[in-house]
Amino acid sequence: MFGLPGDNIGKMRKTIKQAKYLKEINNKVICFACFFQPYPGTELYQEAIKCGYPKLSGLEQWTTMNPQSQLGKIPWLSIDEMDQYKEEFNASDCFSAY
């Protein structure tokens, strides 16, 4: 899972490196990626708010969230970091689509 509260480029690189390693030792391995999507009332949602995630209220605001299979804006990354995150994730080519 990518984009958890406090996630950064270094953590993403470690996850990608691990996925590539698994594929190297067994080419039948399939790695799937999903992206953090907070759910109200959970500890991770509270942590995400502390890290800059917008506090959402009402069903209309919750419907604007990206599905877990899409990389949305990660509030705890700067615009430059987010651009780098997207670029490196997309270039990794080691994750399958759902």
Residue 76 burial (10 A CB sphere; 0-12, 13-18, 19+) = middle
- Both tokens of residue 4? 């958890």
Using a pLDDT cut of 90, give the percent of the chain over it: 34
b/e sequence 54-75, b meaning 16+ C-beta within 10 Å: eebeeeeeeeeeeebeebeebe
Above 60 in pLDDT, residue 53?
yes
Per-residue model confidence (pLDDT) at position 43: 93
* Structure confidence at residue 97 as a pLDDT band (50, 70, 90): low
Picking from 24, 25, 49, 26, the residue whose alpha carbon sits closest to that of residue 38 is: 49
pLDDT at 93: 84
Q: What is the mean pLDDT of residues 71-98?
A: 84
Confidence of residue 65 (pLDDT cuts 50, 70, 90): confident
Domain coordinates in residue numbering, the chain: 9-92
Q: What is the predicted pLDDT for the residue at 98?
A: 57
Q: What is the pLDDT of residue 71?
A: 78
